Every structure is written in structure tokens, then in C-alpha cells.
Structure 1
Amino acid sequence: MIETTPRLVAAKALSLLDLTDLTDNCDAAAIERLCQQAQTPFGNAAAICIWPRFVQQARALLGQNSPVRIATVVNFPSGDLPVNEVAAETKTAIADGADEIDLVIPYRKLIAGNEQAVREMVAAVRAVCTAPILLKVILETGELKDRDLIRNASQLAISSGADFIKTSTGKVPVNATLEAADIMLNAIRESGRNIGFKPAGGVRTVGDAALYLNLAAAIHGPDWAIPSTFRFGASGLLGDILATLEGRQGGSANATY
């Protein structure tokens, strides 16, 4: 367990936050608000995570050299699109100004035993995401369910070129869990590679964030979680972060640190 305070955890979580709006009714006004919200008096979120159709707008709002990165999603949320369509979608997103690509693996095919489909998808999108574009690969762990399958998905994503492995789309009944995080963080350690981790969906409070940061620290060391190795994918977490930093009572008030 990291010995720390809610305020320190909140400040850390803010720097690691992919502030997300992937709602079905997202519109241009919501993207404008999101870009503003990502830049707080206490510092900036690491990134915003948005639908591909809004990347051009977000780039215009944030400018070319913003410290807030723009992440977008491909093959999302189903994981079922053909590889060539996903590669084309990725190329367009990068041309529009995306800094980071969050790719859903064909997890239903993996559940059916088709590992090669995962390798081909990740490798094809990796080929499009040349440096410095980050590739974050979504495993959809709540649908994979089985520990061995989550470990296998993690290993396949890492070996096929992922910069990050991410738990979830946030669009299924079970999203980020500490059990899945433990499996994924250990898979990263066992790979010996400098791969990041992103829990997404269901991380709503500074207390929730502390649990994931403590787990990462236990596996990788207390200084491992920085924006290049750790992100939180969340829409509601920012409110509790700001409440904590402002000294208002947030959802983290009764959490254990």
C-alpha cells in the first residue's frame, strides 16, 4: 500500500487521466466542454478520449502543441470490423490530429480460439501508428472473463506491438476490475517491455484510483505510474479529483489509502 493522502492521489490521477466522452449523444458542444474541462487550475489531464468524428474539432480547439493529447477509438466498441477498415479508420484519425489510438481487439474471435485474428488486427494498426502515435489496445476483459484468456490477450497484444494494454470499452456490463488489472500488470512485467496499462470503465473516485495505483506500485514499483505507462479511462473521475483538490468532500472521503 502506498502511504499517501487523498490530495496527492487526486493530483497524480489528474495527470494520468484520459478524460473520456464516448457517449452516443456526444456532440460538438460536448467536445468543446471536454477540451475546457481537461485543462484545470490544478494541471491538465493527460488526454481526452473521443469518437473519431470529433478529432478535427478537438485539434482545432486545443491547438497543435497542446499538453493535452487527443486519443480516439477504432474498431469500437464491437471489435468486429474488418482489418482493412480499421486500418483506414486509424489513418484518417491520425491525419485529423489524433495522438493516440485506442483499438478494440476482435475479442469474440479470441474467445472462439482465433489468436491469429488478434495478432493481425494489432499488427495492422501498429503499422499505421508510427512514432510518436501511441497504440492502446483494448482487451474487453469483462467479456473475456477467464484469467488465462485475459493473460493470453495481454501477451498477444504486447507481442503484436501495443504501447498500452487497456481493460475495457466501458460499453459492456463488466469493465475495469482489480482482478483483470492484476493479470494485465503482471503480463506487462513478465514481458520485460516498457508497456503501459489503462483501466477504463468504472473508475469513478479518487479512492478507486488509489486501488489501481497501489496495485501498479506493488507490481512495478512506486514510481512506475507516469503518463507514458499508466492512464485512467474515465468520464466521471474528474469531478471527484477536483472535489478532493479543492477540499470539498468527494467520493474519496472515506477511502483507505
Structure 2
Amino acid sequence: MSLEQAARLALRCLDLTSLNDGDTAADIDALCVRAIGAPSRGHVAAVCVWPRFVAQARAALPADIRVAAVANFPDGGLDLPRVLAEVDRIAQDGAQEVDVVLPYRALMAGRSSDVAEFLAEVRHATRPLTLKVIIESGELASRERIAEATRLALMAGADFVKTSTGKSKVSATPAAAATMLHEIAVSGLGNAGFKASGGIRSVADARGYLQLAAAELGIDALTPQRMRFGASGLLSDIEAVLAGEDSAAVSSAY
């Protein structure tokens, strides 16, 4: 896969994200302008914002750019009433996707049944929206825990499993991605997808994740329906590559 091919694929699969504590309405307006882009460049799959900005983003974007918002983010608390209230607001304001944080601290404490019940309730509440479950792989750390979290999310009916909030010390890594993708591949759930998120700034990094996904799920999985990138800085490097310029970002993982 050439760098240009990877850039075009990554653009189509990009959730352009702004989840800064100090985000303002002006920041979200600027994010939406970037998401749409020039007709010759094409546009991203979705924008991902705080729940309070969903209505604004939905009004600013064409229908073929989806709006995603986060719930119990980034802490991953096991507070179901809070999450259900956030999900209700997200849905009412017009989003098509919800990114919820798996209660990873509870999982690390051995409370897998509580986590499974939580995810089942969230899945019920989010239908028919697309549900992405963030497992926070950098905090889970071990291959076994990452695999367990992935299985719990898939068994609950998640449409995507996502590596990271981007707020932890360790975000997406190829090792975590490989484990998650393998669990998707052996799950028998042919429509489940993968989202790499956190610290992905170069097309070279994105290409690595695309190649991992293709190896485990097949080349047909490299679509926005099954592959996403959560990033804010990646778009600049995609634009540079598509303009025939040198990549501005240094690959951190490959």
C-alpha cells in the first residue's frame, strides 16, 4: 500500500476529533470546516465531540459526515445512570454514533460481570446508534486483559472496539491493535469494526494499522463501516501527502 493510498483510506475512515477541556463553539465550527474539506480532497467519516456540541456539529455538517460523541469520558466510570443520561442527550441532539468507555478499572479489579452488565445496558440504550467501546488498552496493558475487554465489548454488541481515549499515558499501539483485531477476527461477528485512537499523527502510522486490519479482517474491512481512526492531528499529514508534499509527521509506531 503506497503512502498516498493509505492517506486516502485514512481520510475516509477518520473521526476528526476535538475533546479538549476548553473547547468552545468556535472550535467546533472550525473542526466542522476542516471535516468537510475541499471537494477535491474528500471528507472524513465523522467528527467526534463532547455531548454539549452535538447539535451544533450536526447542524454544520452535511448528512454524509456522521457525528459521534463520548460518554463516561475519559474516566470510564461504572455509573450507569450518568451514562444513560449522556446517551439520551447525544441521541436527542442528532448524533449517529456514541463512543463509550469500558469501565476498565472495574475490569482490572476482577469485576468482569459488572462490566458485562454495564455494556449490555449501554448497548440497549444506544440502539440504533453506532456504538464504539473504548477499552483503554494502555491502562489494561497486558495482552490478556486487552483480549478480555475486547471480548466483553463484542459480546455486548459493540459495533466497534476502540483502543484508547487519548487521555492516558499510553494510547494506541500496534501490539494492542493486533490483539483486538485478532479477537474481532475469531469472534464470528463479521460486521464488527476496529478504531485506532490516540497518538496517531502520521499517514505512516495509519498505514501500519490499515495493514494490521487487512491481515486479520481482510482487505474488504478497510471501509468506514469497519475501520476508523480517532485523531485531531492526523488530518494535517493526510493533506500534506495528498498534496504531494513531504509527510510533516514522524511515524511513532512503525
For Structure 1 versus Structure 2, the TM-score category normalised by the shorter chain is over 0.9
The match for 2:193 is 196
Q: Which runs of 5+ in 2 are unaligned?
A: none
Q: Distance in 2 between matches of 1:91 and 1:253?
A: 40
Judging changes above 3 Å, is the alpha-carbon distance between structure 1 residues 34 and 83 closer, same or farther for their aligned structure 2 residues?
same
For the 8 Å contact 1:44–1:67, the answer to whether it is kept is no
Structure 1 segment 1-257 matched on structure 2, within 5 A: 4-41=1-38, 42-62=41-61, 66-131=63-128, 133-193=129-189, 194-251=191-248
For the 8 Å contact 1:118–1:157, the answer to whether it is kept is no
For the 8 Å contact 2:55–2:93, the answer to whether it is kept is yes
What is the TM-score of this pair, normalised by structure 1? Answer: 0.94
Q: Deviations over 1:40-70 (max 9, x none)?
A: 221110000000010011112125xx11100
Judging changes above 3 Å, is the alpha-carbon distance between structure 1 residues 154 and 242 closer, same or farther for their aligned structure 2 residues?
same
* RMSD over equivalenced CA pairs, Å: 1.7
- Runs of 4 or more, structure 1, over 2 Å off, are 251-255
SS in 1 for 2:67: strand
Q: Deviations over 1:5-40 (max 9, x none)?
A: 211111110000000000111110010011110012
What one-letter code is carried by the residue in structure 2 that aligns with 1:22?
L
Between the two proteins, the alignment pairs up a number of residues equal to 251
Deviation at 1:119, TM superposition (A): 1.0
What one-letter code is carried by the residue in structure 1 that aligns with 2:216?
I
What is the TM-score of this pair, normalised by structure 2? Answer: 0.95
SS in 1 for 2:225: coil
Deviation at 1:116, TM superposition (A): 1.5
Q: Distance in 2 between matches of 1:215 and 1:72?
A: 26
**Identity rate of aligned residues, in percent?**
49
SS in 2 for 1:38: helix
For the 8 Å contact 2:46–2:67, the answer to whether it is kept is yes
What one-letter code is carried by the residue in structure 2 that aligns with 1:30?
D
SS in 2 for 1:202: coil
SS in 1 for 2:197: coil
For the 8 Å contact 1:38–1:45, the answer to whether it is kept is yes
For the 8 Å contact 2:102–2:133, the answer to whether it is kept is yes
